[in-house]
Amino acid sequence: MKSILVFLTSILFMVPVMAQQAIDVHCHNVLPEFTEFLERHGAALEETFPLPEWDVNSHLEFMDNAGVGKAILLMPAPQPYYGDSEESRRIIRHYNEASARLKADCPDKFLFCASLPLPDVEAAVKEAVYALDTLGADGIKLATNSRGQYLGNPALDTLMSVLNQHHAVVILHPHKPVPVNDTLIATTPLAIYEYPAETTRTVVNMITHNVPARYPNIRFVIPHCGSFLPLAIPRMKMVHPAMVAKGLMNPIDWEANLKNLYYDLAGGATSDVIKTLLTITTPEHLMYGSDYPYQPAAVLTENLKKLHSALKSDDMLAPHVDDILFGNACKLFNMTK
d(Cα 258, Cα 130) in Å, to the nearest integer? 29
pLDDT over 80 at 190, yes or no: yes
CB 150 within 8 A of CB 144: yes
The pLDDT score that the predictor gives to residue 320 is 97
pLDDT at 5 over 70: no
Tell me the pLDDT band of 119, cut-offs 50, 70 and 90: very high
Q: What is the pLDDT of residues 272-286, one digit of tens each?
A: 999 999 999 999 999
Farthest CA pair distance, the chain? 76
Give dist(CA 221, CA 234) in Å, integer: 20
pLDDT in the model for residue 20? 60
Task: Assess whether pLDDT exceeds 70 at residue 249.
Answer: yes
Angle between helix 297-312 and helix 2-20 axes, rounded to 10 deg? 90
The DSSP H or E segment spanning 127 is helix 121-130
Q: How far apart (Å, rounded) are the C-alpha atoms in residues 33 and 40?
A: 11
In a 3-state reduction of DSSP, which class is residue 292? Answer: strand
Q: What per-residue confidence (pLDDT) applies to 9?
A: 42
**CB–CB of 100/112 below 8 Å?**
yes
Mean pLDDT value across residues 234-255: 97
Percent of the chain at pLDDT > 90 equals 93
Q: What is the mean pLDDT of residues 106-112?
A: 97
Q: Count Cβ atoms within 10 A of the Cβ of residue 143 and give its class: 0-12 exposed, 13-18 middle, 19 or more buried.
A: buried
**For residue 303, is pLDDT > 70?**
yes
pLDDT of 19 higher than 80: no
pLDDT reported for residue 10? 43
What counts of helices (H) and strands (E) characterise the chain?
A: 15, 10
Judged against a pLDDT cut of 90, whether residue 202 lies above it is answered with: yes
Share of residues in the chain with pLDDT > 70 (%)? 93
The answer to whether residues 75 and 140 touch, using CB atoms and an 8 Å cutoff, is: no
* 231-242: average pLDDT: 97
The reported pLDDT for the residue numbered 6 is 40
b/e sequence 212-241, b meaning 16+ C-beta within 10 Å: bbbbeebbbbbbbbbbbbbebbeebeeebe
Taking the C-alpha atoms of residue 49 and residue 195, their distance in angstroms, rounded to an integer, is 13
Identify the band that residue 1 occupies on the pLDDT scale cut at 50, 70 and 90: very low
The predicted structure's pLDDT at residue 268: 83
Is 139:333 a contact under the CB 8 Å cutoff?
yes
Q: What is the rounded average pLDDT for all residues in the chain?
A: 94
Task: Give per-residue pLDDT as tens, 148-178.
Answer: 999 999 999 999 999 999 999 999 999 999 9
Contact 219, 169 (CB under 8 A): yes
Reply yes or no on whether the pLDDT at 13 is more than 50. Answer: no
Q: How far apart are the C-alpha atoms of 264 and 173, rounded to whole Å?
A: 11
